[in-house]
Structure 1
Amino acid sequence: MRFDTVTNSAALPLASSRRERWSAIGTMTMCVAMLIASEFMPISLLTPIAADLHATEGMAGQAISISGLFAVIASLFIATVAGRFDRRRVLMALTGVMLASLVLIAIAPNFAVLMVARGLLGITIGGFWALATATIMRLVPAADVPKALGIMYTGNGMATAFAAPIGSYLGGIIGWRGVFWVLVPFVLANLLWQWFSLPSMPPRATNPVGKVFRLLGRPHVAIAMVAVMLTFGGAFAAFTYFRPFLERYTQVTVPELSLLLLGLGVAGFIGTYYASAWVGRSLYRLLMGLPLALAAATVAMLAFGHSFWAVAVAMVAWGALNAAIPVCWSTWLSRGIEDEPESGGGLMVAAIQLAIMLGAAFGGMLLDRISIAATLIGGAVLLVLAALTVGSGRRLMGRG
């Protein structure tokens, strides 16, 4: 049973409607988990993917980059496209593209097909994330938006915590292709859940692409996007190549690698929890301090890279710090561009995905041309530059 679209000013009084509404939030949460798992699974499978497709590890890392490129394009144009169709159909179409991408990855005969499949995944990533916040604002009353967003980000945390270690472990048993086949039935189940749970959300006024770019004319928004790109670019320049670092420096086995990635992911729950608790009163200090602390954790991994337990501690810290960053920037978005949530969301997603793409490419170039140590140092430098860009936070405050 479907329910009518709800605006922020009106809530459905019936308990059954409320249950249906939260079921819709549940299916979005599952979609987030599948997206995160699909997007970053190659990080835990980088070495076997490279070997099987006859590519360098740096080239395999570009599978992260290419999804970022298409995510940037999708995030910039999705608001304009979605404004002409029922939002329910748009979200289901995006999930269908993700399903097709996973099947294509699993059967990829060569590196070129893998890149095409990752490009399709990027369309879903950019499109979904650009619409997510605005969609939730249409599903629940204003008072429930923070709770709904928190539930949706739980899917992010769960996938971050378990996708990489499970992928690494299963990859050693059923191969990297088998790991992607495992994801297929879950995405299919999510698509069916969307069919039964998502309400009809009729199109509203179109949202021109130019509106997204006009936001950059606001000085505080432009500076924020630079800081966002440096932060996420630095993080993913390092994170994308954690597996080759751990295999070469720490000389971990596959079970040890899975354990380290699990620790990193579980720590993300801690980072998300404390960021949510502190962000209301310390937003700008967190936006400046988190990249600095993440840079320190990255350098610590390199400095103590030959000690398993020292690296484990550094990775737990890294996971907690990294998970806190999206919470802080999402909060800034709700304050800094509150008058244009869909355009602001598209711009933020575009900046993040472009940063992931360039960061992974930068890290891969340093890995192939210099060393894995250069990759981690390069990521740390970008993170320090991000902190300097944020500064005291005054430049990120709008005039309103």
Structure 2
Amino acid sequence: MVSTVEQTGSRPAAWGAVLSMALCVAMLIASEFMPVSLLTPMAAGLGATEGQTGQAISVSGLFAVLASLLITTAAGMLNRKGVLVAMTAFMLLSLVLVAAAPSFTVLMIGRAVLGICIGGFWALATAVIMRLVPAEDVPKALALMYGGQAIAAAFAAPIGSYLGGIFGWRAVFWALTPIVAVNLVWHLIALPSLPAQQRQDVRALFGLLKRPYFRRGLIACMLSWGSAFSMFTYLRPFLEQVTGVDVATLSALLLLLGCAGFIGTWAAGRFIKGNAAPFLKLPALVMGGATVGLLLLGHSVIATGLFMAIWGAMNTMFSVIWMTWMSQNADDAPEAAGSLMVAAIQASILLGAVLGGLLLDGISIRATFVGSVVLAIAALALIRDGRQMLKGS
């Protein structure tokens, strides 16, 4: 068992705090994406269409973009421990609002509150990890924190769908509230005091954007994420229309994709060390390649499962690779860099989903996957060997 604090050099490594943040990540991912598996009963329960309910669910992404850009400035000189605790409290409030929502409007308010939590937490997360462990342990700590993403990705949707069918969709959200409450208390106990190191303002954001290497990296990151989510958002219609799976096979394939994330989490902690440049092209290369494989062999369930497992493993490495790059190349302004990275990722997820939807409605599901591949190729063309994304280039 890892002790909460172990001395490494002159800086204590607060692994208990890292684990607390990993649980928070798992709850964030579950809270954000659980409604996808409960869309139909939620719409029926609130007297809304599935399209309206889907829009209410996605409103969290819009507020996450805004919060990620504003939170480090709005927090001023507040202790970052208190800010993280407040973000977790927002998640708890969001779950209560959604679970008890008497109307469509209250559902949207609950999702907006969750968006604030998502944007605020992720904007600060990497900067906080950099203060919890020694520099050489940052990739390992990031992999551990993103292990919560793998757990949620693997189990949130199937468990939510199963429990929702038995107890109703509201019970699923109520079931998450005690876990988040425990996580909030764990934050209070495990997180050390994290005084603000300097006052953040919009000048820090613009200062980073003036750096050519960081600007190139940010664009490459957006292209990579846009590629991934223009495909992932519309994976179900592809599996239904091209692979021809039934509901049971669909659930099994999605579970396989999620469980493969554990391999990616292990690999990230094991292999991502030192200079991050050689790893930057891997997400676009591997996930784009898996998408090509689905386009060519998607009619085969076995081949589809293989490519989905490859995609799922790289999905959990994705965040670790790019946040490691950020921690190494914007270490003088980690909170401002975190704000920009989270805003870029959330915006690219939203735009990728819009692009994929336009291609799906206008042409076909295969066109959506081709669009994903095109974005991946653009990312690879910009990244090349990654050296132009490094500080000092």
Scaled to the shorter chain, the TM-score interval is: 0.7 to 0.9
**Equivalent in the alignment of 1:215:** 208
1:84 aligns with 2:84: no
Mapped contact 2:29–2:152 kept (Cα < 8 A): yes
**Equivalent in the alignment of 1:292:** 285
Mapped contact 1:8–1:142 kept (Cα < 8 A): no
List per-residue Cα deviations over 1:13-45 (Å, max 9, x = no partner). xxxxx7xx4332222121111111112223444
Mapped contact 2:143–2:266 kept (Cα < 8 A): no
After TM superposition, the structure 1 stretch with the greater mean CA deviation from structure 2, 314-323 or 356-365, is 356-365
CA spacing shift, 1:84–1:285, aligned 2, 3 Å: closer
**Equivalent in the alignment of 2:93:** 100
Alignment of 1:352-367 (within 5 A): 352-367=345-360
Report the residue type matching 1:69 in the other structure.
Answer: L
What TM-score results when the alignment is normalised by the length of structure 2? 0.87
Partner of residue 128 from structure 2, selected from 125, 135, 143? 135
Q: CA deviation at 1:281?
A: 6.8
Partner of residue 160 from structure 1, selected from 129, 153, 156? 153
Partners of 1:64 and 1:364 lie apart in 2 by 16
Partners of 2:224 and 2:104 lie apart in 1 by 29
Unaligned runs of at least 5 residues, structure 1: 13-17
Which structure's relative contact order is higher, taking Cα pairs within 8 Å and 6+ residues apart?
1
After TM superposition, the structure 1 stretch with the greater mean CA deviation from structure 2, 130-139 or 281-290, is 281-290
Partners of 2:41 and 2:364 lie apart in 1 by 19
After TM superposition, the structure 1 stretch with the greater mean CA deviation from structure 2, 109-118 or 266-275, is 109-118
Partner of residue 23 from structure 2, selected from 30, 43, 55? 30
Alignment of 1:43-82 (within 5 A): 43-46=36-39, 49=42, 54-55=48-49, 62-63=55-56, 65-82=58-75
**Equivalent in the alignment of 1:15:** none
How many residues end up aligned between the 2 structures? 388
- RMSD across aligned C-alpha pairs, in angstroms? 3.0
List per-residue Cα deviations over 1:276-327 (Å, max 9, x = no partner). 4443478444322431331231233344444332221221111012222212
Mapped contact 1:43–1:243 kept (Cα < 8 A): no
Alignment of 1:332-371 (within 5 A): 332-371=325-364
Report the residue type matching 1:136 in the other structure.
Answer: I
Partners of 1:71 and 1:210 lie apart in 2 by 21
Report the residue type matching 2:162 in the other structure.
Answer: Y
1:326 aligns with 2:319: yes
Q: CA deviation at 1:229?
A: 0.8
CA spacing shift, 1:175–1:169, aligned 2, 3 Å: same
Unaligned runs of at least 5 residues, structure 2: none
Partner of residue 388 from structure 2, selected from 382, 387, 395? 395
List per-residue Cα deviations over 1:321-357 (Å, max 9, x = no partner). 2222212112211222122212111111111111112
Mapped contact 1:46–1:243 kept (Cα < 8 A): no
Q: CA deviation at 1:79?
A: 1.4
CA spacing shift, 1:67–1:255, aligned 2, 3 Å: same
CA spacing shift, 1:257–1:328, aligned 2, 3 Å: same
List per-residue Cα deviations over 1:124-166 (Å, max 9, x = no partner). 1111111112223333454554443332222222222222332
Say which SS state the counterpart of residue 70 (structure 2) adopts. Answer: helix
**Equivalent in the alignment of 2:253:** 260
Report the residue type matching 2:83 in the other structure.
Answer: V
Q: CA deviation at 1:235?
A: 0.9
After TM superposition, the structure 1 stretch with the greater mean CA deviation from structure 2, 306-315 or 230-239, is 306-315
Mapped contact 1:249–1:305 kept (Cα < 8 A): yes
Partners of 1:240 and 1:61 lie apart in 2 by 12
Q: CA deviation at 1:393?
A: 1.9
CA spacing shift, 1:181–1:309, aligned 2, 3 Å: farther
CA spacing shift, 1:182–1:214, aligned 2, 3 Å: same
Q: CA deviation at 1:63?
A: 4.9
Report the residue type matching 2:388 in the other structure.
Answer: R
Mapped contact 1:233–1:379 kept (Cα < 8 A): yes
List per-residue Cα deviations over 1:40-63 (Å, max 9, x = no partner). 223444555566664456x65545
Partners of 2:137 and 2:161 lie apart in 1 by 37
**Equivalent in the alignment of 1:231:** 224
What TM-score results when the alignment is normalised by the length of structure 1? 0.85
Mapped contact 2:221–2:345 kept (Cα < 8 A): yes
List per-residue Cα deviations over 1:82-138 (Å, max 9, x = no partner). 333222221111111111212223344555544432222111111111111222333
Report the residue type matching 1:390 in the other structure.
Answer: I
Report the residue type matching 2:210 in the other structure.
Answer: G
Partner of residue 190 from structure 2, selected from 194, 197, 204? 197
**Equivalent in the alignment of 1:126:** 119
Partners of 1:64 and 1:185 lie apart in 2 by 22
**Identity %, equivalent residues:** 53
Say which SS state the counterpart of residue 398 (structure 1) adopts. Answer: coil
